[in-house]
Homo-oligomer: A and B are copies of this chain.
């Protein structure tokens, strides 16, 4: 596809899901308009473009909205020229899709739960356990999928690198916030080394924020929830 494309991305600086789309567009060398959303005050455009989930990212392409990061990244890969994001080989592509779904279904609910489930230490410990179990399964997968190369995608980053790599700055934030390691180099040495390499890529440097942005966002979020809870208690 060539010519002038009208592309607008609704995102959020610290959303791993929006970062996936930004990395995909960056890999394809496609320029786009970016609008930062405030999740406490969502824009009408976000609400009308994604009425089902009301979440970022939304990519609006020539006026037509696309939602859900994995769906959007595949769309970007299929539509635009440039390096392939998903593997070309059908079996490898299926395997990348399988593990992307695993990251979203098993790992993400666990690490997002660490952030959200602030009720008891036990609840957080349970989420930490789930996150570590998922990481150990991905460690095993990396050994097979990378075939001894630097990334899931081979010599350069691909679909699964983007999908998992977009979460890494949050893991770094967890070190500061909870003194907690999600990827322990003693237990998941391959993923720990991969995470270092991922952070050094030009694509990651371009769109992945510093961990302290995530820390700041998390503290703001907690303060907002605490204020809402206090207001509800005195109502």
Q: Which positions in A face B, CB cutoff 8 Å?
A: 52, 61, 64, 66-68, 70-72, 74-75, 78-79, 90-91, 93-95, 97-98, 101-102, 137
Contacts and interface: CB of A to CB of B under 8 A. Distances in A.
Contacts of A52: 102, 137
B94 A66 contact: yes
A68 B70 CA distance: 16
A54 to B, nearest CB: 12
Contacts of A91: 61, 64, 66, 75
A41 B148 CA distance: 36
Given A75-B91, A90-B75, A90-B78, A98 B68 contact: yes
Majority secondary structure, A binding face: helix
Among A52, A78, A95, A102, residue most surrounded by chain B Cβ atoms (within 10 Å)? A52
12 contacts: A52-B137, A66-B91, A66-B94, A66-B95, A67-B98, A68-B98, A70-B97, A70-B101, A71-B98, A71-B101, A74-B94, A78-B93
Contact of A94 (B71, B94, B95, B97): B71
Nearest to A106: B52
Nearest to A68: B98
Nearest to A94: B75
A210 B66 CA distance: 37
A18 B98 CA distance: 16
Given A68-B98, A70-B97, 20 more contacts: A52-B102, A52-B137, A64-B91, A66-B91, A66-B94, A66-B95, A66-B98, A67-B98, A68-B101, A71-B94, A71-B98, A71-B101, A72-B94, A74-B94, A75-B90, A75-B91, A75-B93, A75-B94, A78-B90, A79-B90
A68 B98 CA distance: 7
Contacts of A75: 90-91, 93-94
A110 to B, nearest CB: 15
